[in-house]
Chain A
Amino acid sequence: MTTTGDSGGPPRQRPRPPGPGWVVEVLGDDPVRRRVVEALLTVADGRIGTRGTRAEDGPGSDPFVMAAGVYHDAPAGPHPLPGPLWFGAELATDSTAERRWLDLRTGVLHRQPLEPPGLHAQRFACLARPGTQVQRITASSTLAAGDPLVPPSALPEGVDVRRWEVGDVALLQIAGGGGITAAAATTTTTSRQATVVERVAVLHGDAAEAPAAAPVLADLEVARHLGVDQLLAEQRDAWAARWEDAHVAIDGDPELELAVRFGLFHMMASVADRGEAAVGARGLTGPAYAGHVFWDADVFVLPFLAATHPTASRAMLEYRNRRLGAARQRARQEGHGGARFPWESAADGTEATPTSRHSLDGATVPIRTGQQEVHIIADVAWAAWQHALWSGDDTFLTGLGRPLLLETAAYWASRIEVDPDGSAHVRGVIGPDEYHEDVDDNAYTNVMAGWNLRHAAALAETPGTRTGPAGPEAADPVLWRRVADALVTGRRPGRDHHEQFAGYDDLEPLRIDEVATPPVAADVLLGAEHVQRTQIIKQADVLMLHHLVPDELPAGTLLLDLDHYLPRTAHGSSLSPGVHASLLARAGRPEEALRLLRLAARLDLDDVTGTTAGGLHLATMGSVWQALAFGFLGVRPHRTALHLDPRPLPASWRQLELRVLFHGRRVALRLDHDRLDVDADAPVPIVVAQHGPQVLTTPLKLVQRRDHWHPEVQHAT
């Protein structure tokens, strides 16, 4: 629809970028980094993600619109279905002399020239109305609406496209396995000063089929009726509410602060907060990693959402819950009970891990993670528990969450082998350190399995069971506890550290500084077969236990394990630096922690991996938040209280601020070098480490005296 206005009014006020702590800005157009920038500037609403490709872009760009959890059946397995490109326009501008910025506070992507502006573009994905996408372009130069919906240029085989119109609305449907249906309307207004093109599009996705058009059209009608200005106002309000609960500030380190907020923004933007949320390794920012769901989601992304927006973490667990059927079937096929979640999950919950790859010496080698990396099963249970602890939602553990705890425990009970001497083992696995395959008694796997069994046993003894359609295996808390207590955990007489797996200590005692300066993909440098014979590890493995379930390990073993494994860690995984930052903070080594925290926080902004063009590393972003929360602040949810154990800050930081939601109450934590303030919008029970079991209540002010934290004002219960 085109209108010609002749109001003669002034051009719309051109916004100036907000404060630097909330803006990711890109100047000009570097063809080499073009696709990286597209990923960085993705706008998303938890359901639909649109990479930051310019409206007029052509060769060299990699536009991608994706719907969470919607795949097509590619030859190599399920792959994100590319959605309609809804943001195209025809405009003439010099992209080398412009500024684009992503306002993290509002989720709006802006674009305007450096010199006296003749163009201003805004694009956003409506957080308050997932599926609704908006773009407004104002230009005094050549501007035309262009085609409102364009199919992706490289359409995968077996994917069909259908296009039609309903009045002035364009529709486009892409289907192949899953489906995406889009409707878009464009309004062009021309005045003496400028042409304004406004496009509103609605996209719906479905994992099984192309969504019906009628609901899409209905949502579009609502959005059009509201208009761009109202949608923008809603967008600002929606993001403001999210940041109220997810606030973070690092006084003294503005660059890191911005990088942290960048990560939190993309985690929030990539995860839906209703229905189910399939969170791929790259979220909604690109198709790399085939959009598959790994432990990245459960262990690294979920905790942040559980602590700030539990409806989103619940949606992530709904995704797992709806795939229990496939998990049960897999367990039975493998001769086990309970539920066996896949290492890589896509639409239907079956194993989506590729089965082979080309090695760097030209051979075709099997991929074993899909068969052996079983710790994912306990990771799902742990994630469910985290949601329960942060949210305080008792109905969760008697409802949706219950089978995620019980049926995973049933799997372990059937999988664990008990030897004649009574010791219990999990054999033939891969732990988080994927350099070593087919190992026995990986400490991480075993301790997490034991954790899973004990917590499931406690839950099974809680009244109010609700069973699913197939009914879970009969819970056997007595057996589960007995097996959990018998599991080998890597503790060996005469050794001060946990042995990562049986025989690890007998491997070639190579340290990473003998081969390269980490981070380094040691398997690429040394070859997979060689590195497997050494003690060099890819990422935190034993140390992940100290990070996730510190209470499962003997007191005082963190420093011993840290000193043993850190020199052997290549950090060849982007999941590693953030976790180590957290543990180094716990260990009272803040400057070392800061170095790794910076690396993790800027991983995508600096394209350290060379793969950011394919999508952002959501798990790394989650690990950064965990370093601040679990590491420096030492904040952990327990059933009835929030536990705090603050640690020294880096010298360059004046203060660290973080907000969390605990049992629905907003808690604000402000830590500086000798003081911690804890405020909440309602009284929250607090337990402070080194202060005994006494439960205190917010508001709380703690001061540090002789390396211990003491409440300045006590509100004992």
Chain B
Amino acid sequence: MRPDRESPIVLAAVDDDPVAGAVLHVATALAQTLAATIEVVHVGDTLPSGLRATVERSGHDLRLLDGDSVEALTSELQRADVRLAVIGCRGRPAGPRPAGHVSLAVLERAITPVVVVPPDTPAAHRDLTVVLLPLDGSDETAAAVDPTMRLLTGAGLKVIVAHVFDAATVPAFQDDPYHAMQAWGHEFLARHADTDLELVLRSGPPGTRLLDVMEAEDVDLVVLGWSQRLAADRARTIRELLSRSPVPLLLVPVEGIDPPMSRTGVAGSDAR
């Protein structure tokens, strides 16, 4: 996240969709957590009556944006005072795109973290308490999500770190399932997050396992670093979560993210 200058802004983008109410609720919760101000925007020259009522119920003012939806929203996200954006995830998997085309286009272009709110999220009805932070073990992802993680922990939220081993990231050795995982997990947190946080380890298809953890830990929000590339052969986990997550996803752009680290993990040795 960019450093704040004046009061940071949480930008909530709504349209005439049932998810609008959830978007506003999640944006409000995040703004409170981050000590930020909410701005609600809608792209269009008129405000549909249903949406007007939803916005009025939220108690927030709304600003209309004109022009192309993707261009308008992307431009707003480039403002220096916008800390993050909250958008709705229109639709569910019925084709190759797991979310609405506007949402996806905004996600791919945003330089600011964006929260994607699913339409049926229980988060619309409760406080933000537990955050899941999946980490793939890359330094780039850890660095990108670190400011967000510190903001959330600083605000008193419970942050649970998760890592899912798959064929590309399975360790070369596990001498003892108990002691080795304790040692591995401690070092993983030291390198990529914070050793005071809880770590959940799983093995298997990352998307599926993360969904299991969300349910088991009663998660309210998931924070993910990603490459912003949704081509068919990339971001499989992101696409799966966009289509199936029951809770909002906070997607943080990561520059230069590589494929998951090799099994040996360490990029060379400086001990000679």
Of A27-35, A113-121, A139-147, A319-327, the one with at least 4 CB within 8 A of chain B: A27-35
- By a CB distance below 8 angstroms, the chain A residues around B177 are 357, 359, 367, 523, 528
Cβ of B216 and Cβ of A610 under 8 Å apart? no
Is the C-beta of A609 less than 8 angstroms from some C-beta in chain B? yes
Question: What are the interface flags for A17-42 relative to B under an 8 Å C-beta threshold, 1 for contact and 0 otherwise?
Answer: 00000001111101011011100100
Cβ of A521 and Cβ of B170 under 8 Å apart? yes
Given A24-B271, A519-B173, A525-B203, check contact A357 B178 (CB 8 Å): yes
Cβ of B165 and Cβ of A367 under 8 Å apart? no
Is the C-beta of A572 less than 8 angstroms from some C-beta in chain B? yes
A-B contact pairs, 8 of them (CB 8 A): A25-B271, A32-B191, A519-B172, A521-B170, A527-B203, A573-B174, A602-B269, A614-B187
How many interface residues does chain A have, given as a range? 35 or more
Cβ of A607 and Cβ of B269 under 8 Å apart? yes
A362 to B211, CA, bound (A): 12
Cβ of B266 and Cβ of A521 under 8 Å apart? no
Cβ of B187 and Cβ of A520 under 8 Å apart? no
A610 to B261, CA, bound (A): 12
Distance in angstroms from B174 CB to nearest chain A CB is 4
Is the C-beta of B64 less than 8 angstroms from some C-beta in chain A? no
Residue in A60, A281, A525 with the greatest tally of chain B CB atoms within 10 Å: A525
Nearest B residue (CB) for A290: B179
Distance in angstroms from A129 CB to nearest chain B CB is 28
A128 to B264, CA, bound (A): 38
Question: What are the interface flags for B189-208 relative to A under an 8 Å C-beta threshold, 1 for contact and 0 otherwise?
Answer: 01100000000111110000
12 A-B pairs besides A32-B139, A523-B177, A611-B180 with CB distance below 8 A are: A24-B272, A26-B272, A281-B179, A289-B176, A361-B204, A367-B178, A516-B170, A523-B174, A525-B203, A572-B174, A609-B180, A613-B190
Nearest B residue (CB) for A30: B270
Nearest A residue (CB) for B186: A614
Q: How many B residues touch A, CB cutoff 8 Å?
A: 39
Question: What are the interface flags for B243-272 relative to A under an 8 Å C-beta threshold, 1 for contact and 0 otherwise?
Answer: 000000000000000000001111001111
Is the C-beta of B94 less than 8 angstroms from some C-beta in chain A? no
A26 to B270, CA, bound (A): 6
- By a CB distance below 8 angstroms, the chain B residues around A523 are 174, 177
Please list the residues of chain A having a beta carbon within 8 angstroms of any beta carbon in chain B: 24-28, 30, 32-33, 35-37, 40, 60, 62, 281, 288-290, 292, 354, 357-362, 367, 369, 434, 516, 519-521, 523-525, 527-528, 571-575, 602, 605-611, 613-615, 617
Cβ of B183 and Cβ of A614 under 8 Å apart? yes
Nearest A residue (CB) for B179: A289
Cβ of B270 and Cβ of A521 under 8 Å apart? no
- By a CB distance below 8 angstroms, the chain B residues around A289 are 176, 179, 183
Cβ of A608 and Cβ of B264 under 8 Å apart? yes
Cβ of A26 and Cβ of B271 under 8 Å apart? yes
| The 4 nearest A-B residue pairs measured at CB | A521-B174, A614-B183, A360-B203, A611-B183
Distance in angstroms from A464 CB to nearest chain B CB is 40
Is the C-beta of B48 less than 8 angstroms from some C-beta in chain A? no
Given A40-B271, A607-B265, A614-B186, check contact A516 B167 (CB 8 Å): yes
Which listed residue, B175, B184, B270, touches A573 by the CB 8 Å rule?
Answer: B175
Cβ of B190 and Cβ of A606 under 8 Å apart? no
Residue in A62, A521, A571, A608 with the greatest tally of chain B CB atoms within 10 Å: A521
Which listed residue, B175, B216, B271, touches A575 by the CB 8 Å rule?
Answer: B175
Dominant SS at the A interface? loop
Distance in angstroms from B154 CB to nearest chain A CB is 16
Is the C-beta of B68 less than 8 angstroms from some C-beta in chain A? no
Question: What are the interface flags for B43-86 relative to A under an 8 Å C-beta threshold, 1 for contact and 0 otherwise?
Answer: 00000000000000000000000000000000000000000000
- By a CB distance below 8 angstroms, the chain A residues around B182 are 288
- By a CB distance below 8 angstroms, the chain B residues around A281 are 175, 179
Is the C-beta of B218 less than 8 angstroms from some C-beta in chain A? no
Distance in angstroms from B69 CB to nearest chain A CB is 40
Residue in B175, B203, B263 with the greatest tally of chain A CB atoms within 10 Å: B175
Cβ of B183 and Cβ of A288 under 8 Å apart? yes
- By a CB distance below 8 angstroms, the chain B residues around A361 are 202-204
Nearest B residue (CB) for A573: B175
Nearest A residue (CB) for B203: A360
A360 to B162, CA, bound (A): 11
- By a CB distance below 8 angstroms, the chain A residues around B176 are 289, 369, 434
A35 to B183, CA, bound (A): 12
Given A362-B213, A575-B175, A613-B190, check contact A520 B269 (CB 8 Å): no
- By a CB distance below 8 angstroms, the chain B residues around A610 are 171, 184, 187-188, 265-266
Is the C-beta of B212 less than 8 angstroms from some C-beta in chain A? yes
Given A519-B173, A524-B203, check contact A605 B271 (CB 8 Å): yes
Given A357-B177, A573-B175, check contact A611 B272 (CB 8 Å): no
Given A520-B263, A606-B264, A610-B184, check contact A362 B216 (CB 8 Å): yes
Question: What are the interface flags for B97-120 relative to A under an 8 Å C-beta threshold, 1 for contact and 0 otherwise?
Answer: 000000000000000000000000
Distance in angstroms from A261 CB to nearest chain B CB is 13
A610 to B262, CA, bound (A): 11
Distance in angstroms from A109 CB to nearest chain B CB is 13
Cβ of A362 and Cβ of B180 under 8 Å apart? no
Cβ of A611 and Cβ of B178 under 8 Å apart? no
Nearest B residue (CB) for A288: B183
Cβ of A573 and Cβ of B271 under 8 Å apart? no
- By a CB distance below 8 angstroms, the chain B residues around A617 are 175
Cβ of B170 and Cβ of A520 under 8 Å apart? yes
Which listed residue, A25, A35, A520, touches B190 by the CB 8 Å rule?
Answer: A35
A641 to B202, CA, bound (A): 53
- By a CB distance below 8 angstroms, the chain A residues around B184 are 609-611
A572 to B170, CA, bound (A): 11
- By a CB distance below 8 angstroms, the chain B residues around A575 are 175
Cβ of B190 and Cβ of A60 under 8 Å apart? yes
- By a CB distance below 8 angstroms, the chain B residues around A290 are 179
